[in-house]
Every structure is written in C-alpha cells, then in structure tokens.
Amino acid sequence: MRKHLGIEKKREKKRERKMSRPHIVAIPYPAQGHVIPLMEFSQSLANHGIKVSFVNTEYNHKRIVKALAGESLIDLVSLPDGLEPWEDKSELEQISEALKWIMPGKLEELIEKINGGDGENVTCVMADHHIFWALEVAEKMNIKAVAFWPAAAASLALLLSVPKYIDEGIVDNDGTVLKSQNVDMGTNMPTMKTKDFVWACIGDFTMQKMIFDLMLKLNSSQKLAQRAVCNSAHDLEPEAFTLIPEVLPIGPLLASSRQGNLAGNFWPQDSTCLEWLDQQPLSSVIYVAFGSFTVFDPTQFKELASALELSERPFLWVVRSDTNTTDSICDPYPEGYLERVASRGLMVSWAPQQKVLAHPSIACFVSHCGWNSTLEGISNGVPILCWPYFADQFINESYICDVWKAGLKFDRNESELITKEEIKNKVEQLLGVEEFKESASKLKEFAMTSIKEGGQSNKNFNNFIEWLQS
C-alpha cells in the first residue's frame, strides 16, 4: 500500500512539473526575414519564464547553430523539410510545397514526443501566418494557437483583402492582375500599384499562383488562431491596425533593445566592421545592405559600385557571395575598384545590422526595404534610400517615402536600370535635406516608446504572457 502511494505521489509531482509553466512550440517560415523576428519574440518570452522550443528546418537549423553567437535561451530543434539533399533549399515554390506535405505529421510527432518526456507539456503552437498547417495541428491536438505576422500590419491587411479584390475584378481567382491601377489602402497608408501586389512580383506565373494560393489559405487559417500578433507598433501604422483590430502589435522586435542577444542569422556576422565604423566621422557613412534574397545582374551591380565610388563618402556594403548573378569565380567589381575605394569603402559578407544602424557614424541606409531592415533603420533614426526587390518590400517603400517621409525612391531608366548618377543624386538629396532626418527621428521615438514600460506594444506583450499563463 505504501509503495503504491509512493508511486502515485511521484506521478503527481511529475504531472505538476510538466504543467508548471507555458511551453510554446514556435515555427517560422524558413526564410531569413521570417526566422529572425520570431526568434527575437521567442527570446523575449523566454526572458519572462516561458519555455520555447523553436522549430527550424534541418537545413536552417544547421546554419543558425553555426552562426549563433553565445548561448540561446530557447531550445533549438529541427524537422525535415521534405526536400532531397540536392534540391534548392532557398527556392520558395519548392520549399513551400514540400513543407505542407511533410511537416504537419512531423510537428505532431514532435509535440507527442515532448509531451511524453520529463519536461513541460506543449501548451501552445505559435506559427508564422505562412505556416497555416501548424495552426491546424494545434487545433487537432487541442492546444492554443497563435498566428505570428513578421511584417507590416498593412501588408497583412492587403492579403486579408484578397477576396475583396477578386470580387471587384482587380485580380482573378488565380491571382492574375486584371487591372493596372493604384490601390489606395486608406488614409496615411501605402498606395499600392497592382503590379506590386505581394504575389504578383515574385518569380514566374507558377510561383505567383502558388504564393496567391498561400494567401487565400492564410485568410482561412487566420480564423484558427486564438491570438494574432504582429511585429509592428501601433503608432507607426495606426490606420492599418484599425483595419485588422484583432491583430495585436508587439514590436518592433529588436534584439538589441529587449534581450541583447542577436539570434536567427543564417550567416556568421562580421563584427570587424564595427571597429571600422569607430574610425569614421559622425553621420558620414552610407550603409548598403539588401537582405538575404536580393540579387543583381552584373550591369546593375557595377552601377551601384560606381555610385558609391562617385559619392566620395565612406561606405559599408554587405555583399553576400550570391548577391550578383556573375560567376562567383569572376570579379564582379569594375576594374581596379577595390584598390581605388580601399581607403573609404568596406565590403563584408554579412553584418551585425542592428549594431551597425545604431552606430553614430551611419548617415543613411540603402535598403531592399525588408520589414526587419525597415524597422531597424527607423528605430535608429536613420533615413532610408529604398531599393525594393519583391513581395511586401514595395509596401514598405511606400510607407518610408510616401507616408512617413523618411526616405526616397530610386527612378529607373528606360532599360529598368538604376544608374550610378541616379544613386549618387539621391544620396546627396537625402543627406542634404534635414527633414528626412527629422522624420526618421520622430519614427525612432514612436518605435522605441512602444516597447518601453507603458507603451502599447509593451502592454500587449505583457497581456499576451498573462494569456499564455492562464
């Protein structure tokens, strides 16, 4: 009898331990711009005592672990992506199709394995909106489901308006744009060209159809989430949050401001550039970085290189090994370029961008306008020259230039080239007009106030933790 009671007490203690605190399984879409903000949010939750298991594809898991600086507060785990070893892991169409077939079952197995172990049971699945099937797994397993939107609220509002655009005859049922026009999303919100709709400016027709179908699925999966959170701040885009009041702003999710631990990079960061920045005059350096996807043909690459030389200003340029479409064996720069700019130009393969943009020597940011880069720029009061490549980057460009007045767009010539003269002129214009810097500084105040004690994002963050613990 005593032995039986002893076993029961041990089982009860084990059950109490397994339910002692919330345990989130977090799943990003497997792209750099999606992984970083969800990992930053997960780190913030872990700082408040929440257990987080962060799920990457096996391929990205290896890259992140290799690039990780210091210890992580969250458990990094991996699942297979369904692609063969020789298939391209960065090809959006392939990875999206493979994920939805292989990952739901693997996620369910992972949760069952965690629940069968000695740690805390999984109480919540938090998934990128693009990983709609993870919310379906949460519903099936009767645990909380959270949809995480890593981009601007305006881009989510646009995607949730897709059925309306179909009804209005602006696009057809496969996403084909039927009318070439500007779409006004609302007062103090971006104006979009239909050709720049998120799905309409990615790859070929097959790719666009796949992304459009994903957008339609996103509309229905949104209903499965008990909570939806967004990496933005209310005061940055109040009208957008009016359109989607069920989505809570909890950003900007800047690692440097909340936990000081940079996480989620696919490539090791070259921190020597910070020492180089220390040697440059205040507000003098042009910082150039185009994220993880943007590529240039050889002609455009050389025009950009020549423009930075013509500017006669110090510049820091992030040049990934796959930034240009030139054979990697060839020198992509103009002849003699590296020698001519050696005294004032520095090229690195990947930079600690948040620390770079916070550095007092930075004057402006030439950017692809990914949402993470946009937030990092404005949160440091840095004006931006916009060079969008695809997807939601055109919405962000419109925010920066048309709504916030904190940057400028580039104009292309009849060959769709942004010339070295255009780049040089826009740099001079941006840095010659004080209003751009003033607007960027005002945005910095909005962004940073939101995550401080009493700010709207901070309140939403604390309420979210209370909900997780309930």
Orientation angle between helical segments 132-140 and 205-221, nearest 10 degrees: 30
CA 341 to CA 179: how far, in whole Å? 46
For residues 93-117, give the mean pLDDT.
83
Q: Decide if 424 contacts 311 (C-beta within 8 A).
A: yes
Same fold, 21-169+211-261+450-469 and 272-448: yes
Asked whether the predicted pLDDT for residue 257 surpasses 90, the reply is no
Q: Please give the pLDDT value at position 112.
A: 94
Asked whether the predicted pLDDT for residue 192 surpasses 60, the reply is yes
Choose between 378 and 171: higher pLDDT: 378
pLDDT in tens, 117-132: 878 899 999 999 888 8
| Consecutive H or E run containing 147 | strand 144-149
Query: Does residue 77 sit in helix, strand or coil?
Result: strand
Choose between 296 and 461: higher pLDDT: 461
Write out the two tokens for 232.
């933005």
CATH 3.10.20.30 for domain 21-169+211-261+450-469: no
Asked whether the predicted pLDDT for residue 42 surpasses 70, the reply is yes
pTM over 0.75: yes
The 3-class secondary structure across 170-220, one letter per residue, is CECCCCCECCCCEEECCCCCCEEEHHHCCCCCCCCHHHHHHHHHHHHHHHH
For residues 418-427, give the mean pLDDT.
96
Orientation angle between helical segments 434-451 and 371-378, nearest 10 degrees: 100
Asked whether the predicted pLDDT for residue 261 surpasses 60, the reply is no
Q: Please give the pLDDT value at position 470.
A: 85
Asked whether the predicted pLDDT for residue 322 surpasses 80, the reply is no
Q: Please give the pLDDT value at position 377.
A: 96
Reading phi first (left if > 0) and then psi (alpha if -120 to 50, else beta), residue 369 is in left
High-pLDDT (> 90) share of the chain, %: 57
Q: Please give the pLDDT value at position 148.
A: 96
Who's near 143: CB < 8 A, 6+ residues apart? 111, 122, 123, 124, 125
Q: Please give the pLDDT value at position 228.
A: 95
Who's near 390: CB < 8 A, 6+ residues apart? 201, 202, 293
Question: Tokens 């970085």 identify what position?
Answer: 289
Q: Please give the pLDDT value at position 231.
A: 96
Fold classification of 272-448 (topology level): Rossmann fold (3.40.50)
Choose between 76 and 69: higher pLDDT: 76
CA 220 to CA 429: how far, in whole Å? 45
For residue 252, is the peptide bond before it cis, meaning its omega torsion is within 30 degrees of 0? yes
Asked whether the predicted pLDDT for residue 26 surpasses 70, the reply is yes
**Other C-beta atoms within 10 Å of 338: how many?**
13
The 3-class secondary structure across 318-371, one letter per residue, is ECCCCCECCCCCCCCCCCCHHHHHCCCEEEECCCCHHHHHCCCCEEEEEECCCH
CA 187 to CA 180: how far, in whole Å? 21
Choose between 322 and 368: higher pLDDT: 368
Q: Please give the pLDDT value at position 69.
A: 66
pLDDT in tens, 212-241: 887 777 777 778 899 999 999 999 999 999
Asked whether the predicted pLDDT for residue 259 surpasses 50, the reply is no
Choose between 16 and 244: higher pLDDT: 244
CA 272 to CA 259: how far, in whole Å? 22
| Beta pairing, strands 285-289 & 247-249 | unpaired
SS3 content of the chain, % helix, strand, coil (to 5): 45, 15, 40
- Amino acid, res. 341: V
Q: Residues for the chain: how many in total?
A: 470
Q: For residues 299, 303, 309 and 314, what is the CA-based torsion angle, rounded to 10 degrees?
A: -110
Query: Does residue 52 sit in helix, strand or coil?
Result: strand
For residues 442-452, give the mean pLDDT.
94
Q: Which of 5-9, 171-175, 190-194, 264-268 is the least confident region?
A: 5-9
High-pLDDT (> 70) share of the chain, %: 89
For residues 315-320, give the mean pLDDT.
94
CA 290 to CA 251: how far, in whole Å? 22
Asked whether the predicted pLDDT for residue 359 surpasses 50, the reply is yes
pLDDT in tens, 48-61: 999 999 998 888 88
Provide the mean pLDDT of the chain: 86
Q: Please give the pLDDT value at position 423.
A: 96
For residues 434-439, give the mean pLDDT.
95
Chain mean position to CA 405:
22
- Give strand pairing partners of 365: 287, 384
Q: Please give the pLDDT value at position 88.
A: 63
Asked whether the predicted pLDDT for residue 340 surpasses 60, the reply is yes
Going edge to edge, which strands form the sheet with 362-367? 345-348, 315-318, 285-289, 362-367, 384-386, 407-409
CA 22 to CA 242: how far, in whole Å? 30
Domain-wise residue ranges, the chain = 21-169+211-261+450-469, 272-448
Asked whether the predicted pLDDT for residue 464 surpasses 90, the reply is yes
CA 141 to CA 364: how far, in whole Å? 48
Asked whether the predicted pLDDT for residue 160 surpasses 70, the reply is yes
For residues 398-422, give the mean pLDDT.
95
Asked whether the predicted pLDDT for residue 152 surpasses 50, the reply is yes
Q: Is the dihedral of CA 290, 296, 298, 300 positive or negative?
A: negative
Write out the two tokens for 151.
């981009």
